[in-house]
A = this chain, B = another copy of it.
Amino acid sequence: MTRYIPNQDDQRRRMLERMGAGSFEDLLAPLPQEVRLDRELDLPGPVSELSLHRQMAGLARTNTGSEKVCFAGGGAYDHFIPAAVDHILSRSEFYTAYTPYQAEASQGTLQSIFEYQTMVARLCGMEIANASMYDGASAAAEAALMAIRVKRKDRVLVAGTLNPRWLRVIRTYLDRAGFFVGEVPFDDGGRLDEDALEAQMEDGFSALVVQYPDYFGQVFDLQPLAEKVHSRGGLLVVAADPVALAMLKSPGECGADIVVGEGQSLGIPLCYGGPYCGFMASRKKLARKMPGRLIGKTVDRAGETGYVMTLQTREQHIRREKATSNICTNQALSALTNCVYMALLGETGLREVARQCYQRTHYTVRRILEEVEGAAVVFDNPFFREAAVLLPASGEAVRDAMLDRGYLAGIPVPGLGEGALLLSATEKRTREEIDGLAENLAPVCREVAT
Residues of A in contact with B (beta carbons under 8 Å apart): 49-50, 80, 82-83, 87, 90, 92, 427-428
Bound-complex Cα distance A82 to B51 (A): 12
> What are 9 A-B residue pairs whose CB atoms fall within 8 Å in the complex?
A49-B80, A49-B82, A49-B83, A50-B80, A50-B427, A50-B428, A87-B90, A87-B92, A90-B90
Bound-complex Cα distance A50 to B82 (A): 8
Bound-complex Cα distance A80 to B49 (A): 9
Question: Shortest CB–CB separation between residue A77 and chain B, in angstroms?
Answer: 14
Bound-complex Cα distance A428 to B50 (A): 8
- Which has the most chain B C-beta neighbours within 10 Å: A50, A80, A87? A50
Bound-complex Cα distance A202 to B50 (A): 52
| B residues near A80, Cβ cutoff 8 Å | 49-50
| B residues near A428, Cβ cutoff 8 Å | 50
Bound-complex Cα distance A90 to B88 (A): 10
| B residues near A50, Cβ cutoff 8 Å | 80, 427-428
| B residues near A83, Cβ cutoff 8 Å | 49
| B residues near A49, Cβ cutoff 8 Å | 80, 82-83
Closest to A82 in B: B49
Bound-complex Cα distance A130 to B439 (A): 63
Ranked nearest first, the 3 interchain pairs of A and B with the lowest CB-CB distance are: A50-B80, A49-B82, A90-B90
Bound-complex Cα distance A12 to B199 (A): 62
| B residues near A82, Cβ cutoff 8 Å | 49
Closest to A80 in B: B50
| B residues near A90, Cβ cutoff 8 Å | 87, 90
| B residues near A92, Cβ cutoff 8 Å | 87
Supplied contacts A49-B82, A50-B427, A90-B90, 6 more A-B pairs, CB within 8 Å: A49-B80, A49-B83, A50-B80, A50-B428, A87-B90, A87-B92
Closest to A91 in B: B91
| B residues near A427, Cβ cutoff 8 Å | 50
Closest to A49 in B: B82
Bound-complex Cα distance A374 to B90 (A): 54
Bound-complex Cα distance A49 to B50 (A): 31
Question: Shortest CB–CB separation between residue A321 and chain B, in angstroms?
Answer: 42
Question: Shortest CB–CB separation between residue A357 and chain B, in angstroms?
Answer: 14
Bound-complex Cα distance A136 to B437 (A): 52
Bound-complex Cα distance A90 to B84 (A): 12
Bound-complex Cα distance A83 to B92 (A): 14
| B residues near A87, Cβ cutoff 8 Å | 90, 92
Question: Shortest CB–CB separation between residue A78 and chain B, in angstroms?
Answer: 12
Question: Shortest CB–CB separation between residue A289 and chain B, in angstroms?
Answer: 41
Bound-complex Cα distance A50 to B427 (A): 10
Closest to A79 in B: B50
Closest to A54 in B: B430
Question: Shortest CB–CB separation between residue A442 and chain B, in angstroms?
Answer: 26
Question: Shortest CB–CB separation between residue A198 and chain B, in angstroms?
Answer: 47
Bound-complex Cα distance A133 to B19 (A): 51
Question: Shortest CB–CB separation between residue A57 and chain B, in angstroms?
Answer: 12
Bound-complex Cα distance A49 to B428 (A): 11
Bound-complex Cα distance A90 to B80 (A): 22
Bound-complex Cα distance A110 to B287 (A): 50
Bound-complex Cα distance A87 to B82 (A): 19
Question: Shortest CB–CB separation between residue A134 and chain B, in angstroms?
Answer: 27
Bound-complex Cα distance A428 to B48 (A): 12
Closest to A346 in B: B3
- Which has the most chain B C-beta neighbours within 10 Å: A82, A87, A427? A82
Bound-complex Cα distance A90 to B89 (A): 12
Closest to A92 in B: B87
Bound-complex Cα distance A50 to B87 (A): 16
Bound-complex Cα distance A92 to B80 (A): 23
Bound-complex Cα distance A427 to B87 (A): 30
Question: Shortest CB–CB separation between residue A55 and chain B, in angstroms?
Answer: 13
Question: Shortest CB–CB separation between residue A5 and chain B, in angstroms?
Answer: 14
Question: Shortest CB–CB separation between residue A66 and chain B, in angstroms?
Answer: 14
